[in-house]
Amino acid sequence: MVHLDRDLPIPLYYQIYQRLETELSDGSRKPGDYYSTEVELQERFQVSRATIRNALTMLENDGLISRITGRGIFLAPVKVKVDLPNLLSFTEEMKRRGMTPGSKLLDVEVISPPKHAAAGLLLGDNEKTLLVNRIRTGDGLPIVYSQAYLPMSLGMEKELDYSGSLYELIQLHTGRSVSEALHVIEGAVLDGTAAELLSVEPGFPGLRFRRTAYDSAGAPLVYEDGTIRADKYSYEIRLSRDQIT
């Protein structure tokens, strides 16, 4: 049994959180390793189930553990952490994190784009786009369901190999490179289609992003609508504040 100081003005769940956070961060375990169960931790600390669950919720919110019903508590898998405002393709993000990028191409077709994609690409009412539907993977795990819209004016053909970096492919075939992007991120609940494609249950937490990428002249090159597994992906941004006078 682990001794907790019940005379301190620090809640028991927070004392447990501090002890477990130190254990989980000592480098002796790898992401995905089994750690314990709620019952074992109750016995170890001699506290109620509610107290243990409060501590575990804090650890889960910190991204340190994953709780799997019927199996126990595991060290959380490594997330792909995107460092904003650096503009990287998914392939570049994966390689930067030491993961192997991959794609499962679902289909490539010429379509009349939805209004939000047409607006992002500054297209007229009757203009079409090339739609590239893909599942992006990291170390073989599905992470992002991506729908990328390319204006037909780019001259990209359906028969090209869309399994790698879209930015690199555009540059290779058009000579135009992505210089900047407008990136919008929202919370989302994965529905049946997205959940199935990303190998999670319906109702699983996710992220949705909409990104319009531009060349150095400010012309849009690609509009992307993406759905992400929230347990495999995170965004990090450094903010600064001007001196208030």
CB 128 within 8 A of CB 151: no
pLDDT tens string 28-69: 888 778 999 999 999 999 999 999 998 998 888 777 888 888
pTM of the predicted model as reported, rounded to 2 decimal places = 0.62
The whole-number pLDDT of residue 134 equals 93
Residue 82 and residue 136: Cα distance in Å, rounded?
Answer: 15
Q: Is the pLDDT of residue 10 over 90?
A: no
**Domains, the chain, with CATH or none:** 12-75 (1.10.10.10), 80-237 (3.40.1410.10)
pLDDT at 221 exceeding the cut of 70:
yes
If one compares 137 and 241, the residue with the highest pLDDT of the two is 137
Residue carrying the six token digits 């849009």: 220
> Strand 65-68 vs strand 72-75: parallel, antiparallel, or unpaired?
antiparallel
The tokens for 203 are: 């109702």
Helix (H, G, I), strand (E, B) or coil at 49: helix
* Pairing of the two strands 101-111 and 80-84: unpaired
| Long-range pairs for 188-193: beta carbons < 8 A, 24 or more residues apart | 188/227, 190/227, 190/229
| Residue 136: band (very low, low, confident or very high) from pLDDT cuts 50, 70, 90 | confident
Average pLDDT over residues 13-20: 89
Residue 72 φ then ψ, to 5°: 130, -155
- Say how far residue 8 (Cα) sits from the centre of its chain: 39
Kindly state the average pLDDT of the residues 188-206: 87
Q: DSSP letter for 153, please.
A: G
Q: pLDDT tier at 102 (50, 70, 90 boundaries)?
A: confident
